[in-house]
Amino acid sequence: MATLSVRLRSRVSEEGMLELRVPTSLPEGEVDVLLIVRPAENAPANRWTESFFENTCGRWIGKLERPAIEDYEVRPTLDTN
């Protein structure tokens, strides 16, 4: 039987669980599985890099301006009865 090699990226839950569903073209039956788990090489997009705040906090240069608040639409009130 031929060996199937699959590379994928997944996420470990807060409970420390890693759940995988791997599609194969293998027929139904037992298989040997070798699993190697290691941290991802690059930081996930939804997390700050280690030095993000050190490099950005207090770094604004320029003048902050707030645009004028324009008139807003007046809507009828909802009947709460």
User: pLDDT (tens digit, 0 to 9) for every residue of the chain, 81 residues total?
Assistant: 577 777 878 888 889 999 888 888 888 999 888 888 888 776 556 677 778 777 787 777 788 888 888 888 888 888 877
Number of folded domains in the chain?
Answer: 1
- Residue 73, domain member (yes or no): no
Q: Which amino acid is at 80?
A: T
- Residue 81, domain member (yes or no): no
Torsion of CA 20, 26, 32, 36, to 10 degrees: -40
- Residue 19, domain member (yes or no): yes
- Residue 79, domain member (yes or no): no
The pTM of the full predicted model, rounded to 2 decimals, is 0.39
Q: Give me the domain span that covers residue 44.
A: 1-63
- Residue 70, domain member (yes or no): no
- Residue 55, domain member (yes or no): yes
